[in-house]
Amino acid sequence: LTGRCQARFAPAERIVNSNGELYHEHCFVCAQCFRPFPEGLFYEFEGRKYCEHDFQMLFAPCCGSCGEFIIGRVIKAMNNNWHPGCFRCELCDVELADLGFVKNAGRHLCRPCHNREKAKGLGKYICQRCHLVIDEQPLMFRSDAYHPDHFNCTHCGKELTAEARELKGELYCLPCHDKMGVPICGACRRPIEGRVVNALGKQWHAGGHMASGWGHFVCAKCEKPFLGHRHYEKKGLAYCETHYNQLFGDVCYNCSHVIEGDVVSALNKAWCVSCFSCSTCNSKLTLKNKFVEFDMKPVCKRCYEKFPLELKKRLKKLSELTSRKAQPKASDLSSA
């Protein structure tokens, strides 16, 4: 008897055997479309056999990523169905089927990415060993952040704190490190293993200890390294010539620009070398030239000689009065 129509088989009739059940060839068909199974492939559900197309249409879920029917293992997450290979972290694209996931702002993320996103929102670091948020001060080691208690001092074996120091690729507690007499950079507060720049009463990493080749002794304004060039100090800080002049330098009376380079001090004012000239004929002047003040500006001797006699007398008298005011009175001298 067949497993479907219960009719007997005729002698010499071809018989289909499926898992111990016997069928006429014309009876071994899809329960939905009643057509033979292509290449003999079928799917069984609740005791009935279906071709691949009808099984997918009737029972197979659709993947939330690729939209294809899912045959076999189904991942149910985020109110959807997924192929195991399609259910991936939305940030790093790692497969999540066997790792687990964390829901973050409507996204399915792996735990390391979730921790990084959480830390970013809190303005904190992620430990590169346990991948958890670092709530306290991190220990920076080889440019990465860690929980300090993941490490022990290379010398004494004590559990480290964020005060630990790195030296030649090893970590030491602060007391052990200080006993080694290694100079500490005044900028990054880390040990200096190579060349040292001594300035401002401190020691600094010289150029070449980093991939960029830049040192840590830099201008307080533009943060460019001096690399052996001249620096200018002000209130414990170092500046390049340009920014020192911009912040603290003299302003030219003529052009109103900060004077870079030599300054001409005359008539109680500061001038660029190129701006210090006769206000009448524009000929260049130096402090070695003879000149007079007229309208708070210098006038060369040649132009002065061309002034009207009366004007020259007034200028001379004004100069004498100014000189007298500048000299201390007799009473001032006696009291001093």
In a domain, 195, yes or no: no
For residue 89, the model assigns a pLDDT of: 93
Q: Are residues 44 and 3 in the same domain?
A: yes
Q: Are residues 84 and 28 in the same domain?
A: no
- State which of 123, 152, 167 marks the end of a domain: 123
Q: What are phi and psi of 242, to 5 degrees?
A: -60, -50
Would you say 27 and 18 are in contact if contact means Cβ atoms under 8 Å apart? Answer: no
- The string of DSSP letters for 60-74 reads PPBPTTT--B--S--
For residue 214, the model assigns a pLDDT of: 56
Q: Can you give the three-state secondary structure of 108-170, one letter per residue?
A: EECHHHHHHHHHHHHCCEECCCCCCEECCCCEEECCEEECHHHCECCCCCCECCCCCEEECCE
Q: Are residues 253 and 319 in the same domain?
A: yes
Under 8 Å CB-to-CB from 43, ≥6 apart: which residues? 49, 50, 51, 52, 55, 71
CB atoms within 10 A of CB 201: 7
Cα gap 77→101, rounded to integer Å: 9
Q: Are residues 43 and 107 in the same domain?
A: no
In a domain, 165, yes or no: no
In a domain, 183, yes or no: no
In a domain, 188, yes or no: no
Structural domain for 280, as ranges: 249-323
Would you say 279 and 300 are in contact if contact means Cβ atoms under 8 Å apart? Answer: no
Q: Are residues 80 and 110 in the same domain?
A: yes
In a domain, 202, yes or no: no
Q: Are residues 98 and 49 in the same domain?
A: no
Q: Are residues 314 and 256 in the same domain?
A: yes
- Quick: pLDDT tens for 9-36: 667 777 666 776 777 776 888 888 888 8
Give, as one character, the DSSP assignment of residue 48.
E
- Quick: pLDDT tens for 307-317: 888 888 888 88
- State which of 123, 143, 162 marks the end of a domain: 123
* Residue 286: exposure state from Cβ atoms within 10 A (0-12, 13-18, ≥19): exposed
For residue 20, the model assigns a pLDDT of: 66
- State which of 77, 101, 123 marks the end of a domain: 123
> What total of structural domains would you count in the chain?
3
Continuous segment of H or E residues that includes residue 334: helix 330-335
* Residue 292: exposure state from Cβ atoms within 10 A (0-12, 13-18, ≥19): middle
- Quick: pLDDT tens for 36-68: 888 878 888 787 888 877 777 777 788 888 988
Cα gap 305→2, rounded to integer Å: 137
In a domain, 283, yes or no: yes
Would you say 257 and 268 are in contact if contact means Cβ atoms under 8 Å apart? Answer: no
Q: Are residues 34 and 86 in the same domain?
A: no
User: Looking at residue 290, which CATH number applies to its domain?
Assistant: 2.10.110.10
In a domain, 293, yes or no: yes
In a domain, 25, yes or no: yes
Q: The whole model's pTM is what?
A: 0.33
- Quick: pLDDT tens for 83-101: 999 999 999 999 998 888 9
- Quick: pLDDT tens for 255-292: 877 777 788 988 888 888 989 999 989 899 888 888 88
- The residue type found at 112 is P
